Amino acid sequence: MTRALYTAATGMQAQQLKIDVIANNLANVNTDGFKKSRATFQDLVYQTLTTAQPDAGTGTVNGIQVGLGSRPQSTARDFREGSLRNTGNQLDLAITGEGFMQVRLPSGEVAYTRNGALSLDAEGRLRTQQGYLLEPEVVVPPEVGDLSISPEGVVSVRTEADNEIIELGQLELVTTVNKSAFEGIGENLYRLEGDSRDLLIGTPGTEGFGRLQQGFLEGSNVQVVEEMIAMISGQRAYEANSRVIRTSDEMMQETNRLR
């Protein structure tokens, strides 16, 4: 019966993790570019109480195996696209389709994001709201007119003086064969775990890469109803496991009352 106690505890821990993940999803229901996660579980090892042995009456019989509970397997991220929202801001970019924008962290490391709420730094360079510079760098000269970013990632401005269009640079997107290698590091950023050879860098709008949508932002892909249902089922499973602990405890009390 003590085995049942620990088994139920693993079940409760698993459900606790599930609720933790749901809580984070719900907390980010309004975070632009956020991708929800989902906790998955697996069964633990099995203990064999009696091994299978041939029985003259019933043919071969299976042994008795007792499993020792469950444990978290992974928190898989769901990279489905969130809905686009019109902001009208010329420095807001949404990616429709595959791809991430590359930013350079102060540490020199490269990170990836789907949140295209951009701004300019003092030197006119395009950067994210957190201040990380876009890679490759695009510099917007001061005192120019409307900035336009084409679906193919070409950044251009129309000069106010002679109404001429000047191309300032080309934005790039990054995808990878194995998106599960993207590890969230907060601030809507992902880091690539493992081999960077798997990365594909390309121009927006070409095959395999999404297009850019100026004046839009990609909303969070969290569906509140879905999360609420998962939360209810998680809570019920938690209760069921705690009920096992109580049953186990009561049976042990029963044993102690024997005289």
Partner 1 sequence: MASGIYVATSGAVARQNQLEIVANNLANVDTDGFREQQVSFQEVLVDEVDAPNRRMVALGRTYGSQRQGSLKTTNNPRDLAIEGTGHFVVGTESGQQLTRALTLQLSPRGDLQDAFGRRVFGETGPIILDDLESVRVDRRGQLVRDGEVLDRIRTVDVANPSGLQPTGLGLQQPTQESGGPFLVEAQVVAGALESSNVNALESMVQLVQLQREYQTLSRAISSYREAEEGLIEAARS
Does 120 participate in binding partner 1 (rule CB under 8 A)?
A: no
Tell me the per-residue interface mask from 192 to 231 with partner 1, x by CB under 8 A, - otherwise: --xx-xx---------x-----------------------
> Which part of the chain contacts partner 1 (CB under 8 A), choosing from 38-46, 104-112, 120-128, 165-173?
38-46
Residue of 30, 60, 107, 163 interacting with partner 1 (CB under 8 A): 60
Does 25 participate in binding partner 1 (rule CB under 8 A)?
A: no
> Which part of the chain contacts partner 1 (CB under 8 A), choosing from 24-32, 68-76, 117-125, 151-159?
68-76
Checking DSSP bridges between strand 216-218 and strand 84-86, what pairing results, if any?
Answer: antiparallel
Long-range contacts of residues 161-168, Cβ cutoff 8 Å, at least 24 apart: 168/138, 168/139, 168/140, 168/141
Nearest to 90 by CA among 144, 132, 164: 144
Does 67 participate in binding partner 1 (rule CB under 8 A)?
A: yes
How far is CA 71 from each of CA 43, 177, 238, 245, rounded to the nearest angstrom?
6, 28, 14, 17
What is the C-alpha to C-alpha distance for residues 128 and 122, in angstroms, rounded to an integer?
A: 13
3-state secondary structure at position 7: helix
Kindly state the smallest distance separating residue 22's Cβ from partner 1, in Å: 12
Using CA atoms of 155, 160, 164, 165 in order, give the dihedral in degrees to the nearest 10.
Answer: 10
137-156: contacts with partner 1 (CB under 8 A): none
Q: Are 202 and 95 in contact (CB under 8 A)?
A: no
Does 88 participate in binding partner 1 (rule CB under 8 A)?
A: no
> Which part of the chain contacts partner 1 (CB under 8 A), choosing from 101-109, 122-130, 132-140, 238-246?
238-246
Does 83 participate in binding partner 1 (rule CB under 8 A)?
A: no
Residue of 28, 115, 214, 248 interacting with partner 1 (CB under 8 A): 248
Does 259 participate in binding partner 1 (rule CB under 8 A)?
A: yes
Does 56 participate in binding partner 1 (rule CB under 8 A)?
A: no
Does 86 participate in binding partner 1 (rule CB under 8 A)?
A: no
What is the C-alpha to C-alpha distance for residues 206 and 101, in angstroms, rounded to an integer?
A: 15
Instruction: Name the residue type at position 45.
Output: V
Q: Are 27 and 213 in contact (CB under 8 A)?
A: no
Residue number with CB closer to partner 1 (139 or 177): 177
> Which part of the chain contacts partner 1 (CB under 8 A), choosing from 25-33, 54-62, 135-143, 145-153?
54-62
Does 23 participate in binding partner 1 (rule CB under 8 A)?
A: no
Residue number with CB closer to partner 1 (43 or 123): 43
Count CB atoms within 10 A of the CB of residue 25.
25
Residue of 23, 27, 42, 131 interacting with partner 1 (CB under 8 A): 42
Give the DSSP H or E segment for 13. Answer: helix 2-27
